[in-house]
Structure 1
Amino acid sequence: MNKRYLGVGAGVAAAALVLSACTPPGSDGGEAAGGSDGPSVLNVGWNEPFRSMNTETVNGNAVANSNLTYMMNDNFKHYDGNLELVDGTLGTVEQVSEDPLQVKYTFADTATWSDGTPVDAADIVLHWAAKSTNFNTESDEDVAEDRDEESGDLAEQSEGDVYFDSASPGAGLIKDFPEISEDGKSVTFEYSKPFADWELELGFGADGVGLPSHIVAKKALGIDDPQEAKQAILDAFENKDNEALSKIANTWNTGFNFTSLPDDEDLLIHNGPYKMTGFAEGQNLTLEKDEAYTGPTDPKIDQVVVRYNEDPMAGVQGIENGELDIIQPQATADVLSASEAIDGVEVIAEDGGTYEHVDLTFDNGGPFDPETYGGDEEKAKLVRQAFLKTLPRQQILDTIIKPLNDEAVLRDSYTMFPGSPMYDGITGGNGLAEEYPGSDAEGAKALLEEAGVESPKVRVLYGASNERRAQQFTLIKEQAEAAGFEIIEDGDDNWGTRLGDGTYDASLFGWQSTNTGVTESDANFRTGQQNNYGGYSNEKVDGLYDELQVETDEGRQEEILTEIESTLVDDAFGVTLFQHPGLTIYRDRLQNVSSITVTPTMFWNYWEWEVS
C-alpha cells in the first residue's frame, strides 16, 4: 500500500508537483483495456445515487449527477490536473471583443448528439436562456412553495407562466438574443457588462451545453423533426413566446429527472463518449462506451459501474474484497486506517474541494429573524452573534479532522480555500477568526443578556446518517446550551431537499466548489440567489458582487471579496469550519488516478484511466 498526501494549505501550487499534468481528452486515445479477455470493467463506489441529467436546476445541482454527466457529454472547457483551464472537444470558444464583451462559441464538426443530431446553436441558446433568469415571468417567491418535499422537484407552472429553475449571474448579463451563423455552428453572445469569469459561464465542465434542445422541444412542444424542434426553441426565446416558453421551462425543470433507467431512451441522449445502459434504483448505474460517438475522446475502459452505498466503511470493504476498484468516501480516521491496511491498494489523502460550514436562517420567524423581535434588526443580530460565538470551531477540528491530518487548519474564509492566492489577504482583513474563534460561552451569554433574550430555541439541520456531522452536532449542542440556548436536533437524511424551506434555524453541511472563478460565491450570498438558503439580504453585498462581476484586476478582486466577507462577519451570516479532508482509495490494477479540488474531483481525467 502506498500513500500520497497533500497537507492543508498546500493548495494548487503544490498539487502541480504530485498530480500528473495530463492532456485534454482525445489527444492520446490508446486501445481499451481488456483485449481478448473481454471488455474492461471498472467498479466505482459512490455515496449518493444519480437523479438528473440536468445539473443546472436546484434539484439536479449535485455532484452525484455532474460526475456522470461529465463522462456522458463533451464540453468547451474543463480543468486539468493543475486546475488550469484547458480546451475541451466540443468546439472552440474565444473572446472576439473586449468592449463590449463578446464571446463566440464554434461547434466542432464532430459535435453530435447520440441520436445523430448535430450539437449546435439551439443547444447553447437553451443552456444560456434557462440559466439567465431573463425569461422568467415568475419570481423565486412565486414558486417557493411549489416544490416536492421529498424529491425537491419544482411543480409544473401554469400555462403561460415561465420559470426556469436555475440562476447564473454571468448568464444573466447576456440580455440580448445572440448572433447565430447561417449554418448554426457558431454563436456569439454579447454581455451587457464586462464579466470576469466568462470562460466558465457556458460550455464548461460537467454541464457542457446542457440538455439536447431538440428533445426538450419534442417533449414540450410535440415536434418530432429535430431541426424543426431546434428552430422552435430558437424562435421561442427570440420572440419571447411565453406560451411556448412555459412548456419548455416545465420540461427543462423536471423532464430529465429519473432514479432508475427510464423506458424513454430520449432522456438518455448525450454527446460524449459514454452512454447510460443500466440503472437499478438506489443500487447501481452502468455507463458503457458508445460506439456511435463521433468525437475525439477515447476512454480506455469499456464499462464503468457505479455502486451506491452511503456507508464509507462498506466502500472500504468493497475495495478489500475486490467488488470495488475506486472510491472517494467521507474521510474518517477509521476509513483511513482500514484502507491503509489493505494490500494492493493506493490511498491519496489530500484537501478536498468541499468546506464545512454553519449557516443561519434570517427569514423564518425563528431566533435569528428580526421579525421575531418586531423588526428589531440589532436584537436579532445579537442573538446570531451569540450563537456563532458558541460554535466550537477549534474543538471540531482537533477532535474530528486532525486525526486524519495533523496539519489541518480552520478555514477562515467564506470564498477562498486555505493556500489559494487570495486566502491570506482576505482572512487577514475579514475579521472572522477574531470575531468567532469559538467555544465562547461567556461571551455568548453576555450578548444574549444585552439582547434581552432568554433561552432561544435553535433547530439545527444536518444529515442524520452522517457520522461526522452527528459528532459535530453533539459538540455544537454542548457549547450552545452552556451559553443558554436550547438546541433542537433536526437530523434528517433528506436534509438536501429541505434547504431553504424555513423549517430550521441553523444548517450544517458542506459546499463543493465547482470552479475557481472569483464570482462562484455570488450564488451563496446575493439576495435571492439559488444557494442563499437562509434568506440573507444585504444591499452592500449585492452591490459588491455587481462590481466583482466586471472587475478583472486581481488586486481589486481581493479587496472586494475581503469587503464582502467583512460584511458577512458583521451581519453574523454564519461561520466556516474546515476544508474537508479527501481520500481517494483505489486498487492498484487501476492506473492514472488523481483528483482535483473541484467537481468532478477524481473523474476529471476518466479518459486516461486504465485497468490491468
Structure 2
Amino acid sequence: MGAGLTGMALLLSACTAPGGDEENGGDGGAGSVLNVGWNEPFRSLNTETANGNAVANAIVTYLLNDNFVYYDDELELQQGELGTVEQVSEDPLQVRYTFADDATWSDGTPVDAADIVLTWAAKSTNYNTGEGNRTDDGEIQENEGGEVYFDSASPGSALIQEFPEISEDRKEVTFTYSEPFADWQIELGLGADGVGVPAHIVAKKALGEEDPEAAKQAVLDAIENEDTEALSEISNVWNTGFDFTSMPDDEDLLVHNGPYQLADFQEGQYLTLTKSEEYSGPRAGNIDTITYRYNEDPMAMVQAIENGEVDLTQPQATADVLAAAEAIDGVNVDTDDGATYEHIDLTFDNNGPFDPASYDGDEETALQVRQAFLKTIPRQQIVDTIIDPLNPGAVVRDSFTQVPGSPWYDEIVANNGADEYAEVDIEGAQALLEDAGVEAPEVRFLYGASNQRRAQQFQLVKESAEQAGFVIIEDADDNWGTRLGDGTYDASLFGWQSTNTGVTEPDANYRTGQQNNYGGYSSQEVDDILTELQTELDEGRQLELSIELESHLHADAFGVNIFQHPELLIYRDRVQNVSSTAVSPTMFWNFWEWEVS
C-alpha cells in the first residue's frame, strides 16, 4: 500500500473527554492519562484495505499491534517486537519471517504464519477472481456469485506467486519472490497493524470455525488449495468485517497483539485506548490511558490545548494556528516539513475535458487541454500566500516521488520536465486551447468543503484558470474522500502522506488500474518503468528510472504537486519524549517512550 489520504472530512464535535478531570488524569488520578487531538475519526482496524488505508486508522492500530519493523524519527528502520525478518537467499529472493515465541493475540492465540500469509494473499491480488462489487459511491460490498476479491493491492506481494514454506510450529514463514524486489524488507513487516487482522477471527466469521487452531489452518488450506468458495467468504470478512465507527458489541473485533486495547469509542467524539493486561513486551509504554479526541477545526484544537483538554496534537498548520499555539504558556510548538504533500490530479476516463473520449478519442487534443490547465495553476503564489508565513523558505514541490531536500530531489527535478509548469503561463494556456479548438472547457474541481486552506487554494486556482478561458465549477464536498475515482469530477485537490521510503511506493499511485490511481491514468511506458523499479536493486539505476517515471508523468500532464505540508507538533509541558517522523504514523512512532507528569 502506498500513501495514506490526509485532510479527510470529519465529524465536527466538541473537544470534551469521556469524563473526569482532564488536567489531573481524567479519573481523579487513578492512572496516567494522555489526551491526543486528531482531525479525523478512526473507521477501520484493517489498514490494508482501500477504506482502511488512512492515517486516522494507522495511528490507532499502531498502538494496538506490534510489528516486525518500524521507522524512527530519522527514517531509519528499526526492529519491532513481533520477530525478525531476514533475506535468506538472493537468487531466488527468499525472505524469512520468524515470530517471537511470546507473540500472542490478546485472546491467547499465537501470532503466526496464518496471519502473515492471509495478509500476503489479500495484498497480492493473486487470488482475486473478480473486480469487486461496489456501490455507486465506490464502497466495497459483498462478493457476488462466489467470486473472490480482496480490496487491496501491492506489487511486492504480487511477486510472491508460490505458497510459502511454513515451519511445523507455524512460527517461521519463508516467502519466495518470482523476481528480485527492492523493498522486500518492508513489504509485509512494516504495516501499521503489524501482520494484519487476526486470521483465526477472520475464519471464525467467514467459515464458522470456532477453534482458533483449526481456524488458522482453515485459512492456510483455503489459500494453498485456492479454494474459491472459502476465499470468497474470507475476502468478504477481510474487506469490511473490521470496519466500525463506534464501540463494537462483538469482542472478537477487538483482538489485538500489542500494548494497548480499545476500551471505548463514541462516534465522531473520542476513542480511548488502555494498557493491555495480556501484553508483556518491551513496548508496554508509560501511560495507562490514551484518548483520541476528534475535531477537524485546528483553532478549536489549539483552544483545547490551552484549556488543558488536549495534551498533544498535530492540527493542520496555518499562520493563525501557529500564532495562537505559540502564545500559550506551558505549551511547546515544533515546526518542520511533514510527510504530506499537496497535489492536483486530473481525471482521464470520465468523458470530461481531460479525457480523449470527449474528443472522439483524440489523445493530442485532450493532452493540450490538460497542459493548458496545469499552466494556470499558481503554485508559487499558493506557497507564498499560504505556506511561507508558516514555514519561511518553503519551496514549491516539483517531484512526484521525492521530498524537497531528499538526496535525489535536485537531480530528479533538474531532469523530469517540471519546469514546464514552473510559472503561471496564461498566454501559453490560451494558445494551447486555441490550437486544440476547445472553447471554455468546464472543469469540476473537487476538494474538502470544510478545509479552509484548500478553499483558499481553490480560489487562487479558479481566478488564474478562468483568465485562460476555463470555466471552473466548484465541487466542495466534505465527503470528497469517498468519491475519489468515481468519475464525477475532473480535477481534485488533496494530500498524500507517505507510509514508507521505498522506491516502489509510487506504484500504487501511477500504475494502470492500481488502488490509488483515482484519475484513470494509463501509460504502458510508465507501467514498464514501475515494473523495472520493483526488481532493480542498483541505486544508480533506481534514480534513472525515477527520472524516467516523472518525465512521463509531466509529459502526459498527469497533474502537479504544490507543496510539502508544514507540520506543527503542539504539546503541553506535561508531555515528554515526543517527536515526529516524516511517514505515517508521524508523532506516534515512539508512543512507548512518552511520559506525562
TM-score greater than 0.5 by the shorter chain: yes
Amino acid at match of 1:319: I
Alpha-carbon separation, structure 2, partners of 1:300 and 1:492: 40
- Name the structure 1 match of 2:381: 395
Instruction: Could you tell me which runs of 5 or more consecutive residues in structure 2 were left unpaired when the two chains were aligned.
Output: 1-24
Q: Is the 1:46–1:309 Cα contact (8 Å) retained in structure 2?
A: yes
5 Å-filtered alignment, 1:508-523, equals: 508-523=493-508
The offset of 1:297, in angstroms, is: 1.6
Q: Is the 1:331–1:583 Cα contact (8 Å) retained in structure 2?
A: yes
- Name the structure 1 match of 2:331: 345
- Name the structure 2 match of 1:463: 448
5 Å-filtered alignment, 1:442-481, equals: 442-481=427-466
Query: For 1:431, which of 402, 406, 417 is the aligned residue?
Result: 417
The answer to whether structure 1 residue 561 and structure 2 residue 561 are counterparts is no
Query: For 1:156, which of 133, 142, 164 is the aligned residue?
Result: 142
Alpha-carbon separation, structure 2, partners of 1:475 and 1:269: 48
SS of structure 1 residue aligned to 2:429: helix
Amino acid at match of 2:270: N
Q: Is the 1:360–1:573 Cα contact (8 Å) retained in structure 2?
A: yes
Deviations 1:112-157 (A, max 9, x none): 0000000001000001000000000013xx64xx1363xx530101
Alpha-carbon separation, structure 2, partners of 1:61 and 1:131: 12
Amino acid at match of 1:500: G
- Name the structure 1 match of 2:475: 490
Q: Is the 2:73–2:582 Cα contact (8 Å) retained in structure 1?
A: no
Query: For 2:316, which of 330, 344, 361 is the aligned residue?
Result: 330
Amino acid at match of 1:456: P
SS of structure 2 residue aligned to 1:412: coil
Q: Is the 1:159–1:247 Cα contact (8 Å) retained in structure 2?
A: no
The answer to whether structure 1 residue 237 and structure 2 residue 229 are counterparts is no
SS of structure 2 residue aligned to 1:206: coil
5 Å-filtered alignment, 1:159-558, equals: 159-432=145-418, 434-558=419-543
Alpha-carbon separation, structure 2, partners of 1:81 and 1:356: 22
Q: Is the 1:389–1:438 Cα contact (8 Å) retained in structure 2?
A: yes
Amino acid at match of 2:135: R
Structure 1 runs, 4 residues or longer, greater than 2 Å off: 33-38
Q: Is the 1:332–1:404 Cα contact (8 Å) retained in structure 2?
A: yes
- Name the structure 1 match of 2:60: 68
- Name the structure 2 match of 1:610: 595
Deviations 1:559-601 (A, max 9, x none): 0000000000000000000000000000010000100110000
Alpha-carbon separation, structure 1, partners of 2:160 and 2:500: 20
The offset of 1:293, in angstroms, is: 1.3
5 Å-filtered alignment, 1:106-117, equals: 106-117=98-109
- Name the structure 2 match of 1:26: none
Amino acid at match of 1:539: Q
The offset of 1:437, in angstroms, is: 1.7
- Name the structure 2 match of 1:43: 35
Deviations 1:246-292 (A, max 9, x none): 00000000010000000001001100000000000000000000011
Q: Is the 1:112–1:294 Cα contact (8 Å) retained in structure 2?
A: no
The offset of 1:50, in angstroms, is: 0.2
Alpha-carbon separation, structure 2, partners of 1:147 and 1:253: 14
Q: Is the 2:45–2:193 Cα contact (8 Å) retained in structure 1?
A: no
Q: Is the 1:54–1:257 Cα contact (8 Å) retained in structure 2?
A: yes
Query: For 1:147, which of 122, 135, 153 is the aligned residue?
Result: 135
Amino acid at match of 1:446: A
Deviations 1:318-361 (A, max 9, x none): 00000000010000000000000000000010000000000000
- Name the structure 2 match of 1:95: 87
Q: Tell me the percent identity.
A: 72
Deviations 1:45-102 (A, max 9, x none): 0000000000011111000000110000000000112110010000011100000000
Alpha-carbon separation, structure 2, partners of 1:35 and 1:98: 55
Q: Is the 1:112–1:118 Cα contact (8 Å) retained in structure 2?
A: yes
Q: Is the 1:356–1:510 Cα contact (8 Å) retained in structure 2?
A: yes
Amino acid at match of 2:51: N
The answer to whether structure 1 residue 578 and structure 2 residue 549 are counterparts is no
- Name the structure 2 match of 1:132: 124
Q: Is the 1:153–1:254 Cα contact (8 Å) retained in structure 2?
A: no
Amino acid at match of 1:161: E
Amino acid at match of 2:44: S
Alpha-carbon separation, structure 2, partners of 1:439 and 1:270: 51
The offset of 1:160, in angstroms, is: 1.9
- Distance verdict in 2 for CA 1:254–1:340, change over 3 Å: same
Deviations 1:7-45 (A, max 9, x none): xxxxxxxxxxxxxxxxxxxxxxxxxx9999421000000
The offset of 1:414, in angstroms, is: 0.2
Q: Is the 2:401–2:506 Cα contact (8 Å) retained in structure 1?
A: yes
Instruction: Count residues in correspondence.
Output: 573
Q: Is the 2:103–2:110 Cα contact (8 Å) retained in structure 1?
A: yes
Alignment root-mean-square deviation, CA? 1.2
- Name the structure 2 match of 1:589: 574
Q: Is the 1:352–1:579 Cα contact (8 Å) retained in structure 2?
A: yes
Q: Is the 1:159–1:243 Cα contact (8 Å) retained in structure 2?
A: no
- Name the structure 1 match of 2:77: 85
Query: For 1:598, which of 580, 583, 588 is the aligned residue?
Result: 583
SS of structure 1 residue aligned to 2:192: helix
The answer to whether structure 1 residue 123 and structure 2 residue 115 are counterparts is yes
The answer to whether structure 1 residue 59 and structure 2 residue 67 are counterparts is no
SS of structure 1 residue aligned to 2:291: strand
The offset of 1:400, in angstroms, is: 0.4
Q: Is the 2:64–2:193 Cα contact (8 Å) retained in structure 1?
A: no
SS of structure 2 residue aligned to 1:188: strand
Amino acid at match of 1:123: D
Amino acid at match of 2:129: T
